[in-house]
Copies of this chain bind each other. A is one copy, B any other.
Amino acid sequence: MDFELKILGSSSATPSFDRHHTAQLLAIGNQLNLIDCGEGTQMQLMRYKVKHQRICNIFISHLHGDHYFGLPGLLSTMHLQQRTASLNLFGPKGLAEILSLQFKYAGTQLPYKINFHEVDTTVSRKIFEDKTITVHTLPMQHRINCCGYLFKEKQKPRHLLKSKLPAFLTPPQLVRLKWGEDVLDEAGEVLVRNADVTTNPKHSRSYAYCSDTKYKEDILPLIKGVDLLYHESTFLSDMTQRADYTFHSTAQQAATLALKAQVKRLLIGHFSARYKDLTPLLAEAQAVFPNTNLAVEGKTINVLE
């Protein structure tokens, strides 16, 4: 199954001609999750030939415009294109009020349902769960209410070794073996040891999205060991003071967090418009955490099982 991240934009607040504001698509199987939705996201979806009707869930980190000013337009286009499937929308207090006001003055009656979930940006909570994944909020430290999101695949079933399975096992017993249990006889004695007839399940993948925020070590336990960490890196470290003052991070800080959290891979983005050339940001991060990439538009990162 796919677990694939596509970058649609990675510019910080002041836009840059060749970089759009923040938006990312996380495809998990057939489910498309949109993470933030800066201005122009619907045009970026067209550019990369993504059918927006496939988006099931939208997660907004905070109400600075560079993270959501594309949302009313995208929702309106879904309306014009006769979407009927309901949509989950996660975001901080204020988002539903703003959208309602815009739709009111536009005279818009959406033909699909938006299930709006107001998130508490100050704590880590499970906000979404289906048969495949869970999503938790990650509290950020920014100038206004802001949270990241942690996407985790649920534990997958163990592999059954067909050649080693006794013929007498019933379907319910096979299911129990898949989920790690032994098979017991009526007296409660082990009849078939799980370890003898199964191997480990495929890896459950995880993606942590952290934007916008000051360097913040208290999220380390929450993002520990994730397969892929996106962390904002608005500045180079010669602007640490400005990063601190504006509640943003440097590339070095993002990499330090990745190192301490022992993540597998780091992706940096939300670049200040002052950096035309992004290689110094990459170099600064890689000096601390070598497995770092730039979140440039159009880039796709496939997280393997």
Task: Using CB atoms and an 8 Å cutoff, list the residues of chain A in contact with chain B.
Answer: 13-15, 17, 20-21, 39-40, 42-43, 46-47, 63-66, 69-70, 72-73, 76-77, 80-81, 93-95, 97-98, 101-102, 104-107, 143-144
Contact = CB atoms under 8 A, between A and B. Distances in A.
A208 to B, nearest CB: 24
Q: For the complex of A and B, list the 6 residue pairs with the smallest distance between their C-beta atoms, beginning with the closest.
A: A94-B105, A63-B105, A39-B73, A17-B46, A69-B73, A65-B76
Which of A15, A42, A47, A143 has the largest count of B CB atoms less than 10 A from its CB? A15
Contacts of A77: 13-15
A34 B18 CA distance: 23
Contacts of A76: 13, 65-66, 69
B101 A39 contact: no
B65 A102 contact: yes
Contacts of A73: 15, 21, 39, 65-66, 69
Contacts of A43: 15, 17, 20, 39-40
A186 to B, nearest CB: 62
Contacts of A46: 15, 17
Contact of A15 (B21, B42, B64, B98): B42
Contacts of A40: 39-40, 43
A40 B39 CA distance: 6
Contacts of A94: 101, 104-105
Contacts of A106: 63-65, 144
A144 B72 CA distance: 18
A102 B107 contact: no
A97 to B, nearest CB: 7
10 contacts: A13-B80, A15-B77, A17-B46, A39-B42, A39-B70, A63-B106, A65-B102, A69-B76, A98-B102, A106-B144
Which of A17, A63, A104 has the largest count of B CB atoms less than 10 A from its CB? A63
A66 B42 CA distance: 12
Contacts of A21: 73
A106 B20 CA distance: 19
A33 to B, nearest CB: 22
A81 B20 CA distance: 17
